[in-house]
Amino acid sequence: MISMQRLRRSNDVGLTRFRPALLREVMLTDNELTIPVSGTGSAGMEAALCNLIEPGDRCVVCVNGVFGGRMADVCGRYGAEVATVAAPWGQPIDPDDVRQALANGPTKLVAIVHAETSTGVLQPLEEISRMTHEAGALLVVDCVTSLGGHPVKVDEWGIDACYSGTQKCLSIPPGLAPISFAPAAVAALESRKTKVANWYLDMSMVHKYWGEERTYHHTAPVNALYGFHEGLRLILTEGLEARWARHRANHELLVAGLAEMGVEMLADPKYRLWSLNAVRIPEGVDDVTVRQRLLNEYDIEIGGGLGDLKGKVWRVGLMGTSSTPNNVLMLLGALNAILD
């Protein structure tokens, strides 16, 4: 019989054996507050925003897909004055539109999705980061579908708060949300006039749980932490640049194969995600029928369009360990047979 004391000791071992330095290396940051939040990528989104927003803060939120819209919703729920900068789904945010939004009033933060999962668009960040900081605001970035599959340079790009999820390009079981707060974001958290509205995700307490004080806050998902540690180790063994190159090569293989069938991509080549490929459904082809046949006849599952793109695109994930030439070629062969 396992005693409660032994169970508590096991929980503590899960925390102490995980090395945050591994996560900092993957996120290319020296930020001391870089930890996995107990929850999915959506918990990471909420943690990044709820810790920095106080009621009445003006937040500029960039929306060109489902997850930008979700960020705007979360900001509003914490009492922010939300100013949205929009772009058509399938296109990146125009930095000039962000500049104009920043000129319209003092702004606490700019929130933007790096890799919009609903549209397959990769958002350039460096110019928007510069103008955000020139305006005295913080930059909050959603990297759920890019971390581990695309370059995510937290320090070099001046990202103040960045979050991701474990189940996409990191190829680790879902349940944890890597998050990193730069010194400016930590300073904003420490200077709050009001308590963080979300107790569970209050980084001022969660950080103490992870720190030397080991102040109890919640029961960490120990099994997930062991898996997270091993997953990060495998990523660094492969090497970040090699991993990025693999995702790019398999994306390009897919695009070339689809082009031979006359099937087009949604996004412009300059802004395409390698990890999530938004494919235009050919005219006259039924979305659901094709996806059902892929699943039932070939054991291949691809995603349907979300929101404005429902019934208009297929979303093909090539993330982490699933980003292989073999998977690409199997999908191309199956699609070719179905569409023929």
Q: What pLDDT digit, counting tens, does each position of 115-151 carry?
A: 999 999 999 999 999 999 999 999 999 999 999 999 9
Mean pLDDT of all residues belonging to the chain: 93
Chain CA centroid to CA 64, Å: 15
Domain spans in the chain, listed from the N-terminal domain onward: 4-237, 240-339
**What is the pLDDT at residue 127?**
98
- Residue-wise pLDDT for 24-61, tens only, equals 999 999 999 999 999 999 999 999 999 999 999 999 99
What is the Cα–Cα distance from 21 to 303, expressed in whole angstroms?
A: 34
**What is the pLDDT at residue 209?**
76
Residue 14 has pLDDT above 60, yes or no: no
pTM of the model: 0.92
Phi-psi region of 290 (alpha: psi -120 to 50; beta: other; left: phi over 0): alpha
CATH number of 4-237: 3.40.640.10
Interval 155-184 mean pLDDT: 97
Say which amino acid occupies 32. Answer: E
Give 18's pLDDT tier (boundaries 50, 70, 90): low
Shortest CA distance to 144 belongs to which of 45, 225, 48? 45
Q: Which CATH superfamily is domain 240-339 in?
A: Aspartate Aminotransferase, domain 1 (3.90.1150.10)
Give 249's pLDDT tier (boundaries 50, 70, 90): very high
